[in-house]
Chain A
C-alpha cells in the first residue's frame, strides 16, 4: 500500500524513477559531462558534498585501476605467465626461488576488480541521474535538496538503500564474490598438480565437465554412484522424517493421549542437544566395539567376539545413517506438524463426523491434504537440505567405508562431502567446483518447479 501511494503522488522527481538512458540523452551539456567528471552537475549547483563524494569515489577508482586494477584484469585472462623458478645463486652457492605469478590470486583479484568496475558503472549512472534531476529541478525553479535532505531521504524515500548497504556488502564479500570465484575455478586446471604458488594453472574451458561425465572414466564411475546415493538418501531421509514425524505428532495430539507436554518434551530434548554432539555420540554407539554391539553380545544375538558392521559395511552403513537421521529429524517434523495440526479448522472434522466418516477417511480426506498443502514448501526445503546434508555424513562415517573404485570418495559420500574431500583434502579445486555447480543445478531445477507453484511466492501480500 505504501508503495502504491508513493507512485500515485510523486512530489519530487526521484532519481530512481528516471532511467540512465533518458537522463543522459535528454540532459544538458553539464549532465552529459557528469558521465566523465562525476558529480559535476552537483558541484556546479552548490550541492558540494554530494558532488565531492561522487568525484572522490571516481578518483579512488582510477587510482585503484592504475595502481593494481588494469594489471589484475590482464592477469584474469592469462592467469599469470611467470612460473616460480629455482635459480642458482653463484655468490651464495645455493638455489633460490624466484617468485612467479600466483594464478589463484590472479583469479581472485581479477574477480574483485570486475566487481569494483561494476560498482563504478553503477556510480556513473548515479552521477548522470543525479545531475539530471538537479537540472530538472533548476528548470522548474524548485529548491534544490541540500546534503542534509539527502541524508534525511535515507530515512524515508531511500530507506531501503540505508538498510541494505551493510547486509549487501556482507553478502557481496562473503557469498557472491567467493561463489563467482569458485564457479570460475570449474573452468580452470586448478587441481593437485597445478598448485600455486609453485605452478600456474590456466583456463581449460569445459574440459573438467567432460572428464566428469566421460563414460568409463574413474570420475564418471565415482560421480554416478555418488549422485545415486545422494538422491536415494535425500528421498529416504526426507520422507521417513516427514511421515514418522506426522504420525508421532498425531499420536501425541490425539484426544486420548495423556501428558502431551511430557511426550513432546521427551522428543524435543534430542533437538536441544547440539547436533555434532548427538552425531558423534551416535558414531560411538554404533561403533564396532560400541555399546550397541556390546548389548547385542550380552543378549546373545551375536557371538562374544562378533560385531555388526553398522558403519563399516556399505549397505549397513547406509541403513544405519538413515535410521540415525530419523532419530535426529523426527522431533523437528513433529514440532512443525504439532503447530499445523492445531491450526486445521475444527469444523472440517465436525462436518466429517456428522457425515459418519471414520478415522481413516478423515485422515486421508482432511488431515493429509491439508498437511500436504501447508507443508509442501517445508518438504522441498528439507529435501534440498538433505542433498546438502554435510554434517550427518561427515560426522557419522566421514563418507566411509572407502572404496578403491572411487576417486577419493567413500561408499556413503554425498556430493557435498565428496566436494569437501576433493577441495579441502585432495586440493582438486576444479573438480570440487564442478560438483558444486552440479549440486546447484539439481537444487535450482527442483526449487524452480516448486517455489513458483506455491501460493506464498505468488501472492505474498495475501495477508497484509
Chain B
C-alpha cells in the first residue's frame, strides 16, 4: 500500500523538478541575453550601429585596441584613469565619513542625537540632484571649476561630501556588536576613542568593505553629477560620460562597437569586485555577531 501511494508522489516531484529547472534555464537565458549581446557586439568586426542580422558576421579584437588608441577626441585611457582616481579618493573619504557618523549614532549618547538622525532621514527624501545647481555654484565660487584637475577634486567632494548621511546600514551593523565588549574595555581604562579604533573598527571588516565598495562603484556608474560638474572638456571626463558621448549621434555610427568594448572593459573589474564582495555584503547586512 505504502509503495503505491509513494510512487505517484515521487514521480510528480520529479516532474515538478524538471519543470523548475527548465523554467530557471529559460528565465536565466533571458537574463544572460543582454550581457551576451554586449560581449558579441564588442567583438563584432563590422562597424556601424544597427544591423539587419543578429550574430556578428566576423569577430575581432580591434574594438578593444581602438579603445586604447588615443585617436581623435575620445580618450578612453584618460577617462579610465580619471574615474579610478575619483573613485579611490571618494571611496576613502566616504567610508571615513560614514563610519564616523554611524559609530557616533550607534554608540554615543548626546543631546542632539535623535534630532540629527531625524534630520538625516528628512534630507534623504529630497531628490538627490535638486541641490545640484547650488552645489555647482558653490564649487564655482571656490574657483574649483576652472581647471580640469580641480574639477576632478570637485567631483570627489560632490560624491563624498554628503555621504555621512548614508550611515544607516553601518549603524545597524554597529548596533549588533554587543556592548559588553565595549564595557570590558572601559573597565581596562580605554577611552571611547580607543574603543572605536581598536575594537569596533577591527570587528567591522564586512561593513567597511561594503561601504568602500559601494562608494568606489558610484563614480563608475554616475552620469548626472559628473555631467554637470565636468562640463565639456573631454580630457577630464569620467568613463560614464565618455561612453555616453560615444553613443551621441555624431559618433554613434563610428564608435558603436567601440562603445561596447568600453562597456566590457569597465564591467569586468566592477563585476569581479561585486562578486568578490558579495560575501562581505551579506555579512555586513546581517550583523557582526551570528546568533
With known contacts A2-B179, A175-B161, A285-B37, A277–B263 Cβ distance under 8 A? yes
Q: Which of B263-277 contact A (CB under 8 A)?
A: 263, 266-267, 270-272, 274-275
Q: Which residues on the A side are within 8 Å of B267 (C-beta)?
A: 272-274, 277
With known contacts A174-B135, A276-B221, A463–B179 Cβ distance under 8 A? no
Contact between B247 and A298 (Cβ–Cβ < 8 Å)?
no
- Give A444 Cβ to nearest chain B Cβ, in Å: 5
Q: Say which residue of A248, A254, A335 sits within 8 Å of B27 (CB atoms).
A: A248
Q: Which of B134-192 contact A (CB under 8 A)?
A: 134-135, 137-138, 141, 157-158, 160-165, 172, 175-176, 178-179, 182-183, 186, 191-192
In this complex, how many residues of chain A approach chain B with their Cβ under 8 Å: the count is 101
- Give A308 Cβ to nearest chain B Cβ, in Å: 14
- Give A288 Cβ to nearest chain B Cβ, in Å: 9
- Give B212 Cβ to nearest chain A Cβ, in Å: 16
- Give A114 Cβ to nearest chain B Cβ, in Å: 14
Q: Which of B247-274 contact A (CB under 8 A)?
A: 247, 259-260, 263, 266-267, 270-272, 274
Among B50, B96, B134, residue most surrounded by chain A Cβ atoms (within 10 Å): B134
Q: Render A52-77 as a binary contact track against B, CB cut-off 8 A, 1 for contact.
A: 00000000000000000000000000
Q: Say which residue of A178, A254, A258, A275 sits within 8 Å of B134 (CB atoms).
A: A178
Q: Say which residue of B221, B247, B286 sits within 8 Å of A274 (CB atoms).
A: B221
Q: Say which residue of A108, A171, A257, A295 sits within 8 Å of B162 (CB atoms).
A: A171
With known contacts A2-B186, A181-B134, A447-B125, A263–B192 Cβ distance under 8 A? no
With known contacts A171-B162, A276-B240, A257–B50 Cβ distance under 8 A? no
Q: Render A289-315 as a binary contact track against B, CB cut-off 8 A, 1 for contact.
A: 111001101100000000000000000
Contact between A108 and B101 (Cβ–Cβ < 8 Å)?
no
Complex CA gap A281/B37 in Å reads: 8
- Give B141 Cβ to nearest chain A Cβ, in Å: 7
Complex CA gap A4/B111 in Å reads: 13
Q: Which residues on the A side are within 8 Å of B263 (C-beta)?
A: 273-274, 277, 280-281
Q: Say which residue of A108, A270, A463 sits within 8 Å of B31 (CB atoms).
A: A270
Q: Which residues on the A side are within 8 Å of B51 (C-beta)?
A: 294
List, sorted by A's number, 28 A–B pairs whose CB atoms are closer than 8 Å. A2-B108, A2-B192, A4-B109, A16-B110, A108-B137, A154-B193, A155-B194, A159-B108, A174-B162, A182-B133, A251-B20, A257-B24, A265-B275, A270-B31, A270-B35, A273-B271, A276-B223, A277-B267, A280-B243, A294-B52, A295-B54, A343-B286, A384-B125, A390-B128, A390-B224, A394-B224, A440-B125, A440-B127
- CB within 8 Å of A: which residues of B? 13, 16-17, 20-21, 23-24, 27-28, 30-32, 34-35, 37-38, 49-54, 96-98, 100-101, 103-104, 107-111, 113, 121-123, 125-135, 137-138, 141, 157-158, 160-165, 172, 175-176, 178-179, 182-183, 186, 191-194, 196, 217, 220-221, 223-224, 228, 240, 243-244, 247, 259-260, 263, 266-267, 270-272, 274-275, 278, 282, 285-287
